[in-house]
Structures are given as structure tokens and as C-alpha cells.
Amino acid sequence: MDCRLGCGACCIAPSITTPIPGMPKGKPAGVRCIQLTDDNLCRLFGAPERPRVCLAFSATADVCGTSAEEAIWLITSLEQLTQ
């Protein structure tokens, strides 16, 4: 599937353990990435500073669901299962 522009769920719900510009220790689950704009777009899109983990993440129906709310729920559930 194509990423829903303006969704941003994968930049909020999961924890990220690698450094993000402006968040040197990464981010906890459920916290907005500092690089996520008010429109829920990535400020670093296409930039070399964008974390590799973000480049590696691609939209799939089982993770992204059909709405941002569903994606937050799915990603949060997956994160809790894998802890």
C-alpha cells in the first residue's frame, strides 16, 4: 500500500532507539517525533539525516490499517507484544 500522507502514526506510536536529530536518545513509544510537522509529515524526508529505521519502514496494510487511529492502535499493540 502507499503511505497515507499526513497520517504520522509510525512517527508517534513506536519507540525509536536510534538517535533522531533533536532527539539524541531516540524517542519513547507514544511520543511525537520532534521532526514530525503539525501536518504529520517528516521534516527530514529525503534528507541524509533521516534515521535509517525510518527509511526501512514501509507502509503495509497489517500495520497501517485504514486510518491513523487504527495504525496507532496496531503499532502500539505490536510494540507491546514484542517487548
User: Under the rule (CB under 6 A), what is the footprint of ligand SF4?
Assistant: 3-4, 7-11, 20, 33, 35-36, 42, 44, 50-51, 54, 59, 64, 71
Compute the least distance from the CB of residue 8 to ligand SF4, in Å.
5
* Nearest CB to ligand SF4, comparing residues 33 and 83: 33
Q: How far is 1 from 19, CA to CA, in rounded Å? A: 28
Compute the least distance from the CB of residue 67 to ligand SF4, in Å.
9
CB burial readout 35-58, b (16+ within 10 A) else e: bbeeebebebeeeeebbeebeebe
